[in-house]
Amino acid sequence: MTQSKAIWFKVLLWAYAAFSMSPLVVMLISSLRPTAEIFDKPLGLPSRPSLANYSKAWTEASFSTYVVNSVVVVVAAVLLGAAVSLLAAYPLGRYVFRGRSLFTAYFIGGMTLPAHLGVLPLFYLLQSMGLVDSRLGLVLVYAAGSIPFNVFVLTAFFHQLSDELDEAASLDGAGMFSTFWHIMMPLVRPAIATIVVFQFVPIWNDFFYPLVLMRDESKLTLPVGLTHFFGEFQNDWGTLFAGLVMTTIPLVVLFVLATRQIVAGLTAGMNR
Amino acid sequence: MALSGTRRRAAYLFVVPAFILYSVFVVYPLFTGLTYSMFEWKGTLRSTFIGLSNYSHLFTEAFRNELLAALGHNFLLLAGTILVQNTLGLAFAVALFAVRRGKRALQTMFALPYLVNPLVIGYLWTLLLSPTFGPVNSLLRSAGLESLAMPWLGDPKSALLTVILINTWQWVGFPMLLFSAALGGIPPEFNEAARTDGASSWKVFWHITLPLLRPAMATVTILSFIGSMNAFALIYALGGSNGAPAGSTDVLGLLFYRTAFASGDVNAIGTSSALAVFMFAFIFGSTLVLQRVLRSRS
């Protein structure tokens, strides 16, 4: 690589990076400006930065409710999905027994299914269980939906662990669950981090299921709440920008904390 | 390791919770949708078995036009994704490979938009591109590009192209990351051997790097197909559930949503279930074919 070429690559990359970030930066800056000021001068720094837009979105537009609902639903769904997937992936990834490949194919097959298309029957199923308009219903749907990807990643991790671990454990008289819990679990921790981070993003962002399955305003998660909010505050751009920033921040924080896990998760399946 | 006796029974117990959850909330609804599609419905009441009539309804004139238009828009979205987004992503990955310092910061900045909720992206660009108070048009005007200051999302001629560009802006970091990972996996000796033989860097890229990237390209293409066919939230935010303006951004996902929940059709469940099964078969089938074709070549 010649020196000048490398410099051109660098210029190109930083230029695009700046372009890539600028809409988000405009969003952040605008959220600190009063609406009148935005209308007057769409691009500009806040004359007096203030969090007034945020407190308005938080209280008047029930963002506090949406955020709490989202956090509760997403955390519960990710944990439940991870727990059942870990249990299943352990024997599927490590042992030979009848039905193993069938079970694995059954779970992983779901990765390519557009599960959203089952939404009408899902609606009536939840209705018959009394779970329409319930956060628990949403949790179960998300947790179930996370199983294919989780099992896919986790079986590969369990598979890599050495057979000697089992031999040592059975010499100590450990049962299956005890082997799983005390020996395997600590070793697959990086994989757990991957699936947790990786499921958090799409579930936090999901819009379709709550749009169809939730009506009660007090139980809405952020994305559908955002659509109501956008209609209601149409002309109050400052508040709109604040709302958009609030929906985004948890993910950015997560990303900065876990870039490596995200990259690992993305590439986990590539060499199979 | 083979299992016997109690341990084998234990293995099944481990699998059971995931099996139940997944079967009840993912597999069962998908299969029930299939039976829904073969009945005539009166509101939420299942009436008579009518075989494939709901499917033929999808291809009656009124519905067919909407269906084909939406499908066409999905395909344009796919073409934009593959030609613009994935090519750019590959170019960025190659450029990034040559950079030593600041790699992580660059990666983060490229990738940030795709973590943001597509709904947020949609609303954000609605504001940025607003013809009256939007900063994009005021920027163009102040740069002397008056003619480019236009209602990007309000004109049926430019709306879908704008959607494609916004989608590219959001997702380009994704193929970039996958290609970066694949480039990292190529043994440097290949490259060095060719260079000592006097090959130009373009030749090395074309004859060595690119063929080795085929598996990654197959993955990226398949994911692009699935993503383009399932597009929903971004387009909903940009054009509402009707694919405004004038249906120029309508896609299959919106059409399904409207048919199921906003058509006022007594048989809405029957029609939309048939549409869901049709989409399902189309997306799933095409994915399998794509996978076959792309993987066998690599």
Backbone angles phi, psi at B266, to 5 degrees: -60, -35
Domain membership flag for residue B150: yes
- Please give the model's pTM, rounded to 2 decimal places: 0.89
Neighbours of B193 (CB within 10 A): 13
Nearest to B228 by CA among B97, B77, B117, B25: B77
% residues pLDDT > 90 (chain A): 56
Supply the mean pLDDT for chain B: 90
What is the CATH number for B139? 1.10.3720.10
CA distance B49 to A115: 25
Q: Which two tokens stand for residue A113?
A: 């299914």
Backbone angles phi, psi at B45, to 5 degrees: -100, 130
A208 CB-side CA count, 13 A: 25
User: What is the SS3 assignment for A49?
Assistant: coil
CA distance B67 to B276: 12
Q: Which residue has the higher pLDDT, A271 or A13?
A: A13
Q: Residues in chain A, how many?
A: 272
Nearest to B219 by CA among A75, A272, A62: A272
Domain membership flag for residue B90: yes
Domain membership flag for residue B129: yes
Which domain range does residue B227 map to?
62-297
| Residue of chain A minimizing CA distance to B168 | A20
Set out the domains of chain A in order of their start, with CATH numbers: 62-232 (1.10.3720.10)
| Residue of chain A minimizing CA distance to B220 | A270
Q: Give per-residue pLDDT as tens, B101-146.
A: 888 889 888 888 988 999 999 999 999 999 888 889 888 888 888 8
Nearest to A90 by CA among B116, B17, B167, B243: B17
Which residues are registered as beta bridge partners of B39? Answer: B49
Domain membership flag for residue B29: no
Q: Give per-residue pLDDT as tens, A51-78.
A: 999 999 999 988 999 999 999 999 999 9
A248 in contact with chain B, both atoms CB, cutoff 8 A: yes
Q: Residues in chain B, how many?
A: 298
Domain membership flag for residue B131: yes
Q: Which two tokens stand for residue B242?
A: 């009707």
Residue A4: pLDDT over 80: no
| Residue of chain A minimizing CA distance to B172 | A20
Q: What DSSP state is assigned to residue A183?
A: I
Domain membership flag for residue B4: no
Total domain count, chain B: 1
Domain membership flag for residue B71: yes
User: What is the SS3 assignment for A216?
Assistant: coil
Assess contact for A24 and B113: CB atoms under 8 A: yes
Nearest chain A CA: its distance from B61 CA (Å) = 24
A95 in contact with chain B, both atoms CB, cutoff 8 A: yes
**In Å, how far are A30, A172, A190 from A162, measured between CA atoms?**
54, 17, 16
Q: Which residue has the higher pLDDT, A216 or B100?
A: A216
The pLDDT of A206-210, averaged and rounded, is 94
Assess contact for A271 and B298: CB atoms under 8 A: no
pLDDT at B22: 97
Domain membership flag for residue B147: yes
Q: Which of residues 116-175 of A touch B (CB under 8 A)?
A: 116-122, 124-125, 140-141, 143-145, 147-148, 151, 163, 166, 175
User: What is the SS3 assignment for A50?
Assistant: coil
Nearest to B238 by CA among B136, B131, B154, B116: B154
Q: Buried b vs exposed e over B219-252: b needs ≥16 C-beta within 10 Å? A: bbbbbbbbbbbbbbbbbbbbbebebbbebbbbbb
pLDDT at A125: 95
Nearest to B167 by CA among B232, B91, B92: B232
Q: Give per-residue pLDDT as tens, A7-25.
A: 888 999 999 999 999 999 9
Residue A213: pLDDT over 60: yes
